[in-house]
Structure 1
């Protein structure tokens, strides 16, 4: 008999296709895309592998019960009818979070409280003692999702969000999420078969994620723990076996990753993060101003970067974006350059026509990931060869 069950991987808007592809490559079954989520099937070992390896997932949820709910009393009764002692003891701690998209239920915090009460009351009735709530480091994280009248109760196997890879201890004011960074690199089509450059590297996240992709290192190998490690059915031996098998699939990388920033203090943080990720040998850090820089290689170059946000810039936006375009055009021939910006208007000032423009969100900020192809000589010359 198959031990596979249904799971849900949560992701950022626009990354559903990337995540579905990652899941298929890992060996997931029945992969189907939702909105900011991908549904799939696998067994316990696969759940461990998904948490360890997926670059574009934020959470891996394991649904344990689905039912229809019409009002709060209904929700309370049905949550209470679940056999919670299978997953939790009165000595454990737990936390509930909820997401709702429904006319009958409009307040996710209230839904989470109702579900929490149902679980606590059931233990109190049955055993005279109740498990405690711990919002920061619970033994079990429970997820309640209500879509109109359909309610799904899941266990959160990841614990804290999977973008918290564990290598980034030093950050700047607005560091890019590790999942967003990895997704941008995958979306840019970079596969480790050319040199890579981040000219505004901040805390080094894009360069580190690029190195992990190039070497096929599991995305979350540096995390201290996953939610499933506190589950009652946790199989430590199986997890160690899965981790070892994932590490056996790493590969050599024969190109270079360059990262630079104009701030010395910022570069120190980036270097510390790369060292935490055990990847400092793969990344060449350099203090320089992109606008006075030369291409670091004669070969084809792949650039991905995240220009600083407007609120962090004390420069004129128009000039800043025009300088990006001018620098690429003048100093970076034979380059594919990608960057993300939340200032969609500012793109007009780059002075180059993007060959791709993809809608993404950086936090809550609607953004565009754009691609500029910089040819050797003029574009016309390329086609007349």
Structure 2
């Protein structure tokens, strides 16, 4: 029986609570929210399941050593004491990612170099041969985190960021990150029992993530590989069991998931990505202009979209956002409408609708707001009295 051990799931700012809920639903133990991360406990099988199923996690780390340092030499000396042969051998390849929040070191790249020196020197002294560095496709990936005087060394079980689901082959300019898209959809409360519309769907990422949520399809089921598959203790039989068990929990939604965009190129890219994810049965894509069309669904609807903003917008910003507000008001009554934007002054303030929720998130380095508009038929007071 595998023992439980500590793990840490990294996430985007603002999605800690959403990720913690995902972990609870999967069966994690000792869940503790941090900033851009959630700590938890589970066994090896749960680590496999977390990588396969979590929608808002960027990567899953497994801490293997924590120690205190007071100077640069302490880092090298403490790393030299770790029994590295537990995790790789002299013929393996490795990569190191470092994050530094400490006065001892100011450069994360230098921390990675010193950490690499400690590992390869350990093998050279003990085995007269050293592992190689491979930053693109290593056998084992380590994470070094320095917080003031505390250094935590972890195995990175994911490898490439978990936002790389494996279904997206075509993108538009500045496409939304898959993990961000999933997080936004989950923040709305969407669970597949509502109809769903993305009226500015671009290459279809929000629609695909919504369809995977609605049908309980594991987020990373299309991903070609995870870093843990190269670990010394990788259990193929256990991984296959977890993989197949998750697939057995897939369900079929009977609610509509609809996307449209006015650009033919966007529609073509969205259709390609939807096919890659094998979700053509659940998502309907059409070429339409949001500002000129009525809502295709009138009952129990959640609308989520990522309108152009920042450098992507080449039109009159105040007018564009005013059109968004007018269209929602006139054509999307009795819906919950959500949009993400980084354009607060000339954009968001011109929508002309009162927000019922406003959540701070980041799209890459852009600080954004994810806002909700409750679109009632008639007055809000009249709606409440029904």
In structure 2, how many angstroms separate the alpha carbons of the residues matched to 1:365 and 1:228? Answer: 32
SS at match of 1:165: coil
| Structure 2 residue 56 is matched with structure 1 residue 56 | yes
In structure 2, how many angstroms separate the alpha carbons of the residues matched to 1:165 and 1:226? Answer: 11
- Tell me the alpha carbon deviations over residues 219-249 of structure 1, each in whole angstroms, 9 at most, x when there is no partner: 0000000000000110001000000001111
**Offset at 1:254?**
1.1
TM-score, with structure 2 as normaliser: 0.98
TM-score, with structure 1 as normaliser: 0.99
| Structure 2 residue 291 is matched with structure 1 residue 291 | yes
**Offset at 1:384?**
4.6
1:234-245 equivalent positions in 2, closer than 5 A? 234-245=234-245
In structure 1, how many angstroms separate the alpha carbons of the residues matched to 2:331 and 2:123? Answer: 67
| Structure 2 residue 371 is matched with structure 1 residue 361 | no
- Tell me the alpha carbon deviations over residues 279-332 of structure 1, each in whole angstroms, 9 at most, x when there is no partner: 011000000110001110131211001001231222100000000000000011
SS at match of 2:190: coil
In structure 2, how many angstroms separate the alpha carbons of the residues matched to 1:89 and 1:351? Answer: 62
In structure 2, how many angstroms separate the alpha carbons of the residues matched to 1:237 and 1:315? Answer: 55
Q: Residue 123 of structure 1 corresponds to which residue in structure 2?
A: 123
In structure 2, how many angstroms separate the alpha carbons of the residues matched to 1:86 and 1:298? Answer: 58
In structure 2, how many angstroms separate the alpha carbons of the residues matched to 1:159 and 1:14? Answer: 23
In structure 1, how many angstroms separate the alpha carbons of the residues matched to 2:259 and 2:385? Answer: 34
Deviates more, 1:350-359 or 1:307-316: 307-316
Q: Residue 178 of structure 1 corresponds to which residue in structure 2?
A: 178
Q: Residue 257 of structure 1 corresponds to which residue in structure 2?
A: 257
**Offset at 1:381?**
2.5
Q: Residue 300 of structure 2 corresponds to which residue in structure 1?
A: 300
**Offset at 1:383?**
3.6
Q: Residue 370 of structure 1 corresponds to which residue in structure 2?
A: 371
In structure 2, how many angstroms separate the alpha carbons of the residues matched to 1:356 and 1:57? Answer: 23
**Offset at 1:80?**
1.1
Quick check: 2:100–2:146 contact (8 Å CA) kept in 1? yes
| Structure 2 residue 349 is matched with structure 1 residue 348 | yes
5+ long unaligned stretches in structure 1: none
| Structure 2 residue 228 is matched with structure 1 residue 228 | yes
5+ long unaligned stretches in structure 2: none
Quick check: 2:2–2:44 contact (8 Å CA) kept in 1? no
1:1-385 equivalent positions in 2, closer than 5 A? 3-345=3-345, 346-385=347-386
In structure 2, how many angstroms separate the alpha carbons of the residues matched to 1:15 and 1:301? Answer: 23
Alpha carbon RMSD of aligned pairs, Å? 1.0
Aligned residues: 385
**Offset at 1:191?**
1.0
SS at match of 1:105: coil
In structure 1, how many angstroms separate the alpha carbons of the residues matched to 2:4 and 2:380? Answer: 52
Quick check: 1:310–1:317 contact (8 Å CA) kept in 2? no
**Offset at 1:265?**
0.8
